[in-house]
């Protein structure tokens, strides 16, 4: 009882940088760093052990499918069981997955560990965010999530080049061993996190209903977050191809500028989202993202592409952190895991279908039409979001 009161008092205080929060932030950074070091080279590793180009694509993509399927269940167990223990288990599972990569002598074994890794990664992501929602002050939730997002973005900027460097010098197995060791270190750090699971949070049910897997009340926010992810997926998949088609040199600078813009914007977006209306933050974010899409549609030189990178970075940072925080706030504290997993489902679906839709449009028309359509979708999302917010205001 005393521990529960201490946790609640800590959460209601204004201090954000507690020992518990810093530990969770550090472990999340390591997990994201390990993912980033491998995801760009896993296809090459697949080919090295005997995969065809098409099978290598399946090996790469099966991770995301596994994560998507696991999301609802990761939210369920995060709400019913000890979040710290789940974070520990998922971190250990990720370490095992990387060790599994090192001993994969054929594609079947590698495929198994990719699926295993995807499920563990989904559980880790959900448990860490749900844990943060308990550890940070209620009034600074979006700010806490924003800093967590900055750490994730830093790993995605540095991780791919770091992974490629280690692989080039020492080989794939050494890379996998290094990442597994990092996760073991993270596991040891996580064990000292002073968190105690209380009976009030535990919910044992014999049957699993839809509301145990998906937070229906936040589906609109999750879908809007998914639109941001859809746009990001389209850009990641087709921007370089568009650059080659339009003879825009150094177009890959977009990704570095965009990632930097997201990281910097997240430093301020979370705090602003806590202090301002979600309606304002999301509207500004959608406007920035839609403007970026239009710049990409009509851009035939590097300058508008760079402007688009900055605007899309601001849009992604503000939109996603505010929507994720609102999803958590909109549900009872005992369902924070479900809220987190529901938001991630929207992001996973957006990332998955974005390249498919973009590919169909660009194949039928051209890249300009594809990005113009993206701008149109973001504009429609702007209208839908504001209609929904007005209805919410009337019913509250």
Q: Report pLDDT digits (tens) over 301-330.
A: 999 999 999 999 999 988 888 898 888 888
- Would you say residue 107 lies in a domain? yes
Asked if residue 1 belongs to a domain, the reply is no
Across 235-250, b (16+ Cβ under 10 Å) vs e yields: bbbbbeebbeeeebee
Residue at a domain's end among 144, 165, 195:
195
Helices 107-135, 302-329: inter-axial angle, 10-degree rounding: 60
Structural domain tally of the chain?
2
In a domain, 3, yes or no: no
| Residues 283 and 386 reside in one and the same domain | yes
Shared-domain flag, residues 108 and 220 = no
pLDDT at position 6, please?
40
186 and 49 share one domain: yes
- Which pairs with CB-CB distance under 8 Å and at least 24 residues apart come from 117-121? 117/63, 117/66, 117/93, 118/62, 118/63, 118/64, 118/65, 118/66, 118/67, 118/70, 119/66, 119/67, 119/69, 119/70, 119/93, 120/90, 120/93, 120/94, 121/31, 121/35, 121/63, 121/67, 121/90, 121/94
- Say what the pLDDT of residue 9 is: 47
Residues 44, 71 share a domain:
yes
Residue 226 CA to residue 214 CA, distance in Å, equals: 15
Alpha helices in the chain (DSSP H): 2-12, 19-39, 42-48, 53-80, 83-102, 107-135, 141-170, 172-191, 219-245, 253-275, 278-298, 302-329, 336-364, 367-395
- Domain boundary (164, 195, 226) is at 195
Cβ atoms of 167 and 270 closer than 8 Å: no
Burial pattern 193-212, b for ≥16 Cβ within 10 A else e, equals: bebeeeeebeeeeeeeeeeb
Cβ count within 10 A of residue 170: 12
H helix runs in 81-201, sequence order: 83-102, 107-135, 141-170, 172-191
User: Are 159 and 110 in a shared domain?
Assistant: yes
Distance CA 252, CA 259 (A): 12
**Tokens 């090192």 found at:** 102
Nearest alpha-carbon partner for 315 in 283, 290, 289 = 289
CATH of the domain at 87: 1.20.1250.20
Give the structural domain span for 151.
17-195
Q: Is the dihedral of CA 224, 225, 226, 227 positive or negative?
A: positive
**24 lies in some domain:** yes
- Tell me the CA distances in angstroms from 151 to 9, 106, 136, 218, one per residue in order: 26, 34, 16, 25
Q: CA 132 to CA 319: how far, in whole Å?
A: 19
Asked if residue 229 belongs to a domain, the reply is yes
Considering the domain architecture, whether residues 179 and 217 belong to the same structural domain is answered as: no
* Structural domain contains residue 203: no
Give the per-residue pLDDT at 3.
38
The ranges of the chain with pLDDT < 50 are 1-12, 200-204
Check whether residue 83 and residue 121 sit in a common domain: yes
Is the distance from CB of 62 to CB of 113 less than 8 angstroms? no
- Pair 237, 295 in one domain: yes
CA angle 262, 343, 111 (to 5 degrees): 90
> Do 254 and 335 have their domain in common?
yes
218 in the same domain as 177: no
Residues 6+ apart with CB under 8 A from 209: none
Domain final position from 195, 223, 254: 195
- Please, are residues 88 and 187 in contact by the beta-carbon 8 Å criterion? yes
Contact (CB, 8 A) for 275 and 223: no
Answer yes or no: do 97 and 163 share one domain: yes
- CB 137, CB 13: distance < 8 Å: yes
Q: Residue 202: inside a domain, yes or no?
A: no
Query: In the prediction, which pLDDT does 176 show?
Result: 94
Give me the helix-helix angle, 107-135 and 19-39, nearest 10°: 160
Tell me whether residue 42 is in a domain. Answer: yes
Per the CB < 8 A criterion, the answer to whether 97 and 117 are in contact is yes
By three-state DSSP, how is residue 116 classified? helix
Same domain, 176 and 256: no
């Amino acid at each position: 009882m005393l521990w529960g009161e201490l946790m609640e008092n800590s959460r209601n205080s204004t201090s954000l940088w507690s020992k518990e929060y810093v530990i969770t932030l550090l472990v999340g950074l390591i997990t994201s760093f390990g993912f980033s070091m491998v995801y760009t080279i896993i296809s090459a590793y697949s080919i090295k052990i005997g995969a065809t180009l098409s099978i290598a694509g399946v090996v790469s993509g099966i991770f995301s499918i596994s994560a998507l399927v696991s999301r609802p269940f990761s939210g369920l167990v995060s709400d019913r069981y000890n979040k710290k223990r789940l974070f520990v288990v998922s971190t250990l599972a990720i370490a095992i997955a990387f060790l599994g990569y090192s001993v994969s002598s054929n594609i079947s074994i590698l495929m198994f560990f990719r699926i295993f890794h995807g499920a563990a990664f989904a559980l880790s992501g959900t448990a860490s965010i749900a844990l943060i929602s308990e550890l940070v002050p209620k009034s600074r939730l979006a700010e806490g999530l924003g800093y967590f997002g900055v750490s994730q973005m830093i790993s995605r900027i540095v991780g791919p080049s770091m992974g490629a460097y280690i692989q080039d010098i020492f080989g794939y197995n050494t890379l996998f061993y290094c990442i597994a060791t990092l996760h073991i270190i993270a596991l040891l750090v996580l064990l000292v996190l002073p968190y105690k699971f209380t009976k009030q949070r535990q919910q044992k049910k014999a049957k699993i209903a839809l509301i145990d897997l998906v937070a229906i009340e936040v589906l609109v926010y999750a879908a809007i977050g998914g639109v941001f992810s859809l746009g990001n997926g389209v850009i990641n998949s087709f921007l370089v191809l568009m650059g080659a088609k339009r003879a825009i040199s150094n177009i890959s600078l977009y990704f570095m500028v965009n990632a930097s813009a997201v990281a910097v914007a997240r430093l301020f977006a979370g705090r602003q989202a806590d202090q301002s209306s979600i309606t304002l933050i999301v509207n500004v974010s959608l406007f920035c993202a839609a403007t970026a899409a239009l710049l990409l549609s009509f851009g035939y030189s590097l300058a508008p592409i760079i402007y688009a990178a900055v605007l899309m970075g601001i849009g992604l940072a503000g939109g996603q952190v505010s929507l994720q925080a609102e999803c958590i706030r909109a549900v009872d504290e005992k369902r924070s895991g479900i809220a987190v997993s529901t938001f991630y489902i929207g992001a996973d679906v957006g990332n998955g279908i974005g390249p498919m839709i973009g590919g169909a449009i660009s194949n039928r028309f051209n890249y300009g039409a594809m990005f113009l359509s993206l701008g149109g979708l973001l504009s429609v999302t702007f209208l839908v979001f504001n209609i929904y917010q007005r209805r919410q205001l009337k019913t509250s």
